[in-house]
Structure 1
Amino acid sequence: MTDVADEPARPRRGRPVALCPEQRRERILDALGEVFRAAGMSGTTMAAVARQAGMSKRTLYDVFSDRAALFGAYLQRLRSDFVQPLDEAALHLPLEERLRHLLAPRSCPTSFDLPLAILRAMIAEAPERPDMARSFLDEGPRAIQALIRAELDRAVARGEIGIADTGAAATLLSDMIRPSPLEVLIDPGELPDDPAVQARFNLAIEVFLRGIACPELR
C-alpha cells in the first residue's frame, strides 16, 4: 500500500499551488476527456470529473454550474480546432481568402468519441434539458454561423457581394462545408478522412461563391 506521504509530487506541508481561473477551467476540461475515455458517458459525472481534476465538487460547481455548462465549455474549446478567427491582417484579404482562413479544415488530434457522445446525450435529453441543447447550438453551429455572417456582412459593406439575407447565407455555407453529423451519429465508421473533408470544403466554397455571384469568381 502506498502512503500519500511517499508520493514525491505532493508536498507534505503548505498550501497547494493556486490555479488562475483559466488554468482551473482547462484542467477540468482535460479531466472531462480523461473520465470519458475511462468510464464512458454513463460514468462521466460531475463528481468523477472533480476527482480526476483533483478538486472538490464545490470548486467544480464554482466554475461550471452543471453538466450542461461543462459540456458547452468543452464544445467551445473544440470549436477552436475548427475555426480560426481572423487577425487584423487577414481582415483585408478578399472574401474567398477570408472564408478559407476562417473555416479551412484542420487535422485535429482529438478523438471525436466524446463530442459525438455529448451530441447523443443532448439529443436524448433535449426534451427534459432544453438548456443543454441550446448550449450545444450556441457553442457549435450558431457560433460558427455568426463568424461566417460577420465576414459576409463585411463583404456586403465593401461591395464584394450583394446578399439580402446574410444570416441565411451563413447558415447555408456552414451546412455545406462540413459533413452532416447524422450519418456519423448512426454509424461512427462514416466519419470522413481528411482528404474527403478537404475536398468537400473546396467544393462548398466554390459553389457558394459562384452562387452568390462573387465578382472575383465571375
Structure 2
Amino acid sequence: MPPTMSRGPGSDVLIDRSALPSEAGDAPARPEAGDTAKRRQIIDGARALFLERGFDSASMGEIARRAGVSKGTLYVYFENKEQLFCAIMDEERRTHLDRLGTLDPDRDTRETLIAFGRALVTFILKTKTVAAMRAAIAIAERMPEVGRAFYARGPATTISTMATYLDRKVAQGELVIADTRLAATQLLDLYQTSLVRPALFGLEPSDAEFDERVETVVTAGVDLFLRAHKAG
C-alpha cells in the first residue's frame, strides 16, 4: 500500500504517517516546541549528522543515536527528518537576524546598508549556512516542500526585512524605488555576488583576504544601488 501522507501540525511539509508509531498510545503527547534540553540535544545531533552525512543519508535511527536519545523519544519531538530540518532552519533564521543587527532608518543610509551587508555575508560564509544551502538545494527537486521551507525561513525573511527598511527610506524622501521588494532582492544579490555562489562550490576567500574582499564587494554593491535609487 502507498504511504499515508498528511501535513503535520504547524508544519508545511508532507509527513509519511506510515513511518510513525501506528497507535496513539505508542508515544506520549508531543511536547511544546520550546527549547527544552532534550529538544536542544536532538537538534544539535541532527545538525551535526546532516552536515556530516547529508540529509538523505541520515536516518531517524542514526539521528537518535547521534543525539543520545531513544528513537521513541525522537518521535515525541519530531515526526520526521523534514520537520527536524525545518526546526534547524528556524533556529538559524533567528540567529541570523540577531547577528545582522537593526536596519535603523534614522542612521546614515550608506553606512547602515554596508554594515548590514557585511554582517550578512560574514554570517553566510563563516557559519554552516553554506552547507545548509547545499543540503536544501540537493533535496529541493525531490522534496520541493523542504526547499520552500528553507527559502521561507532564510532568504524570504531577509528580503522582507530589507524591503521594510527601504519603504521607510522612500517615505523619508531619501530613496526613489517603485518596487521595494524587488529592490531588496537585488541589493541582497549585490552583497553576495562573487562571494556566496562560489562558496557553494567550495571556493571561498582565504582567511587572509576575507575581510578585505567582503568589504570591497559589499561597499561596491551598496554604492551601485544608491546611485540607482538615491533621490535627486
Alignment deviations for residues 66-121 of structure 1 (CA, whole Å, 9 cap, x no partner): 3233223333433434752428xx45323334434443337559865x54444334
| Native 8 Å contact 2:125 2:196 kept in 1 | no
- 1:185 corresponds to: 200
**2:166 & 2:63 partners in 1: Cα distance?**
40
Note the C-alpha offset of 1:151: 0.3
| Native 8 Å contact 1:31 1:53 kept in 2 | yes
Aligned: 1:70 with 2:87: no
| Native 8 Å contact 1:98 1:151 kept in 2 | no
**1:57 & 1:214 partners in 2: Cα distance?**
59
Give the structure-2-normalised TM-score.
0.66
Aligned: 1:205 with 2:218: no
* Overall identity of the aligned pairs, in %: 29
Note the C-alpha offset of 1:133: 0.8
Give the structure-1-normalised TM-score.
0.70
- 2:102 corresponds to: 86
- 1:175 corresponds to: 189
Note the C-alpha offset of 1:172: 0.2
Counterpart of 1:74, as a letter, is I
| Native 8 Å contact 1:105 1:197 kept in 2 | no
Aligned residues: 192
**2:204 & 2:124 partners in 1: Cα distance?**
14
**1:109 & 1:94 partners in 2: Cα distance?**
24
5+ long unaligned stretches in structure 1: 1-18
5+ long unaligned stretches in structure 2: 1-31
Counterpart of 2:154, as a letter, is G
Alignment of 1:55-204 (within 5 A): 55-79=69-93, 80-81=95-96, 83-86=99-102, 90-105=104-119, 107=122, 115-179=129-193, 181-186=196-201, 188=202, 190-192=203-205, 193-204=210-221
